[in-house]
Each structure stands twice: as structure tokens, then as C-alpha cells.
């Protein structure tokens, strides 16, 4: 039997900002459109028996001595450790696709969202780099603010994330709202130093705007683990855990920082529900030797261009769906891809029903 960990006093240097925890998905939705503010997206406080330290960062880990070093010099001991440092916005500079000195606008935290919302008031012409779900959600908020918006990227918009059918539904709605799209497999290059305004697409087209927003995915916050011996040489893909979210004995990882094993190897799944599922498994695995493995139940949603889309099951989905209810072209619809995925568009469906539909043959 392992020694019983001290769960509540374990080092848990989770939140860097001094602000109370808030709902990150709301940043690209209600905060940008103005429907929300910091007070309405605040999360319920942690139970009173969790000691919380905010406004500090963990800067290194000495797992031999079971200590986390904080940036104020304090060392926090632990029996069990949860690594949940999340991710940050990837930039074009990160991937070598920006001229030296380029200053990029990204959306990851509340300060980013507030700053961006402030910029949108002046209705700049906007270029969104990255046609993933975050990029298109941002585009939606920008058109709602009255901006002219173009989305440029390497892949066809939303295709790798959602699959052809669903991507078409969302992109068609975006075009109806006036959004323009351009992509090329060769990717983009950000031109010039200072606040970005010019983007070259690999096919030679040049795009100019008042504001360029980079939304090309996120990178795991693992650099602070560099000296710990727990960080593999290739860590761009996150902390590779086992099916109980364990990294090494006494250390678990969950959320955007963790890469969970699946049929195609270890992959990060930087989504709200994945983080919640993994957190439950990780905590149980830290406390009990016989904790059950996690069988992920993927659940995804997005809101953009008047569409509220919820999906249970795997994404992207290939091929056309069976229409269970409604009509995707007129109002809401309930769609399914047998034995894989069920999707509701502008329809309120209990998640249990959506899940059952996804699993049904």
C-alpha cells in the first residue's frame, strides 16, 4: 500500500492570476460580444478545505525531494502532485512564421479578451489567422461587433476539427455573415515588426488589416518542469500520462497540459470537458491504487454565427450524417453518425440523449 497522501495540503499551484477562477470558454463568446463581464463568468469557489495560493507561479519541481519551488522563493512540499498548468496561445513567432519583432494579438485569458473587446469598439478590419474553432468563434464575435473579417489559415476552415459536413454548415453560416476565407497548405507568414497588420499566404496573396488575431492552437505550459527529469525531450505534445492520468508514481497530470493515450497515440485534448474528466481520474489515481482508468466521453460545443452546436462522440466526422430531427438548412437539427457521433444544432437536447444517440448503431 502506498502511503496515504495528504490531499488537501498537497502542492497545487494552479492559478497564476490573482483573480478568481473564471470560465475560459466564455472569453471568445460572451466577453467579446459584451454579453458577459468578469463577474458573470466567475466559477464557484473551491471548498474551504482547499488551501489556495494565487498570484504565484511554480518555477521548478524537485520530485526527488517532493517539492515545488514558487517564484516568491517558497518551497511547497507534497505527497501527491497534480500538474494542471494548462496551455498558452501558440503564436506564429513560435512556429517560425513571423518576421522578427512581430507583435501578435492572441486570446487566452481574461486580460486578452478585455483588450480585444476594447479594440473591437473601433470596428477595425480584422484578419484572423487560424480557421479552427477558436478562430471562427473570434471571427463571429468580430462580425457581431460590426467588423469586416477575413479568416486565413493553412487548412480549410474547421475541416480538420469537425469534418466536411459540419465544417460546411458552420462556414456557410459565417459566409452569410460576411466573413471571407482563404487558406493554403503552405500556411501564412506574418510580415513586418510591431503590431501585426500584414499576412502573406503561401499562394502569394497578401492580406492587410487594422488588427491581426493569431488563433493557431495552444502549447502546453511545461517549460517550468525542465529540470525535473519528468519532461521528455520532445514535449511539444504535452505530458504523456497513462490511462489513469499518472505521469510517475505520486504525480498526475490533467487538462490542456496532459496528453492522454488513445488509438492514435498520446494526444492532448484541450477542451473543457476533457479537463474535467481527466481531473476526476487524476485525483482518484493519486489517492487510490485501484482507481479506474478513464474512458473518455468526448463532448464538444461551440457557439458562432447564430449556431449553437453540441457534439457527443468523436470529431471530426466523415461522410454525411443521418438527420434524426429537424433540417440543418432551416433552423435546428439533430444529426448522427452511427456508432460514433451525435450532434445537435440549435436544438436543446439533454446530453444523455445525445450520448445515447452517438453510441446507437
Partner 1 sequence: MKITVDRDRCEGYGLCEERAPRLVHLDDDGELVVDVDEIPAERVAEAQDAARVCPVAALRIGA
Residues in touch with partner 1 (CB under 8 A): 22-23, 25-26, 30, 40-47, 272-273, 276, 299, 301, 303, 308, 310, 347-352
By the 8 A CB rule, do 129 and 216 touch?
Answer: yes
One of 11, 12, 22, 24 touching ligand FAD (CB under 6 A): 24
Nearest-angstrom CA–CA distance, 329 and 361: 25
Contact code string over 156-195 relative to ligand FAD, x by CB under 6 A: ----------------------------------------
Nearest-approach distance from CB 361 to ligand FAD, in angstroms: 27
Nearest-approach distance from CB 68 to ligand FAD, in angstroms: 9
Nearest-angstrom CA–CA distance, 72 and 92: 31
Nearest-approach distance from CB 94 to ligand FAD, in angstroms: 16
By beta-carbon proximity to partner 1, the closer residue of 33 and 198 is 33
Nearest-angstrom CA–CA distance, 153 and 57: 33
Lateral strand order in the sheet of 126-129: 180-183, 149-153, 126-129, 211-214
One of 33, 192, 243, 301 touching ligand FAD (CB under 6 A): 301
Nearest-approach distance from CB 339 to partner 1, in angstroms: 21
Question: What string of DSSP letters covers 241-295?
Answer: --TT-EEETTEEE-GGGEEEEETTEEEE--SHHHHHHHHHHHHHHHH-TTPPPP-
Q: Which of residues 109-138 bind ligand FAD (CB under 6 A)?
A: 134
272 binds ligand FAD (CB under 6 A): yes
Nearest-angstrom CA–CA distance, 67 and 176: 55
Q: How far apart are the first and last CA of the chain?
A: 43
Backbone angles phi, psi at 162, to 5 degrees: -110, -25
**Cis bond leading into 259, ω under 30°?**
no
Nearest-approach distance from CB 116 to partner 1, in angstroms: 19
Nearest-approach distance from CB 221 to ligand FAD, in angstroms: 4
256 binds ligand FAD (CB under 6 A): yes
Number of neighbouring beta carbons within 10 Å of residue 314: 18
- Using CB under 6 A as the criterion, which residues of the chain lie in contact with ligand FAD when the complex forms? 13-16, 24-25, 27-28, 57-58, 84-87, 107-108, 134, 221, 224, 255-256, 270-273, 275, 300-302
Amino acid at each position: 500500500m502506498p502511503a496515504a497522501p495528504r490531499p488537501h495540503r498537497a502542492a497545487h499551484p494552479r492559478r497564476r492570476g490573482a483573480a478568481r477562477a473564471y470560465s475560459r470558454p466564455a472569453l471568445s463568446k460572451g466577453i467579446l460580444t459584451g454579453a458577459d463581464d468578469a463577474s458573470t463568468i466567475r466559477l464557484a469557489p473551491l471548498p474551504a478545505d482547499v488551501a489556495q495560493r494565487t498570484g504565484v507561479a511554480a518555477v521548478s519541481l524537485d520530485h526527488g525531494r517532493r517539492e515545488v519551488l514558487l517564484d516568491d522563493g517558497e518551497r511547497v512540499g507534497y505527497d501527491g502532485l497534480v500538474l494542471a498548468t494548462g496551455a498558452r496561445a501558440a503564436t506564429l513567432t513560435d512556429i517560425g512564421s513571423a518576421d522578427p519583432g512581430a507583435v501578435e494579438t492572441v486570446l487566452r485569458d481574461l486580460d486578452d479578451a478585455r483588450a480585444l473587446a476594447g479594440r473591437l469598439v473601433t470596428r477595425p478590419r480584422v484578419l484572423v489567422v487560424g480557421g479552427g474553432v477558436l478562430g471562427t468563434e473570434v471571427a463571429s464575435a468580430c462580425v457581431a461587433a460590426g467588423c469586416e473579417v477575413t479568416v486565413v489559415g493553412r487548412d480549410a476552415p474547421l475541416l480538420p476539427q469537425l469534418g466536411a459536413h459540419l465544417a460546411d454548415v458552420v462556414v456557410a453560416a459565417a459566409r452569410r455573415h460576411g466573413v471571407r476565407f482563404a487558406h493554403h497548405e503552405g500556411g501564412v507568414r506574418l510580415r513586418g515588426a510591431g503590431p501585426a497588420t500584414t499576412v502573406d499566404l503561401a499562394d502569394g496573396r497578401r492580406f492587410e488589416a487594422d488588427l491581426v488575431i493569431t488563433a493557431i492552437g495552444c502549447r502546453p505550459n511545461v517549460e517550468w518542469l525542465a529540470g525535473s527529469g519528468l519532461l521528455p525531450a520532445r514535449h511539444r505534445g504535452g505530458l504523456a500520462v497513462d490511462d489513469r492520468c499518472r505521469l510517475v508514481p505520486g504525480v498526475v497530470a490533467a487538462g490542456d497540459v496532459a496528453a492522454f493515450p488513445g488509438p492514435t497515440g498520446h494526444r492532448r485534448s484541450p477542451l473543457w470537458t476533457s479537463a474535467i474528466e481527466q481531473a476526476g481520474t487524476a485525483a482518484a489515481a493519486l489517492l487510490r491504487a485501484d482507481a479506474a482508468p478513464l474512458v473518455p466521453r468526448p463532448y464538444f460545443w461551440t457557439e458562432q454565427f447564430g449556431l449553437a452546436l453540441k457534439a457527443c462522440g468523436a470529431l471530426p466526422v466523415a461522410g454525411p450524417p443521418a438527420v434524426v430531427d429537424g433540417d440543418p438548412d432551416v433552423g435546428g437539427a439533430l444529426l448522427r453518425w452511427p456508432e460514433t457521433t451525435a450532434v445537435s444544432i440549435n436544438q436543446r437536447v439533454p446530453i444523455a440523449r445525445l450520448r445515447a444517440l452517438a453510441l446507437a448503431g
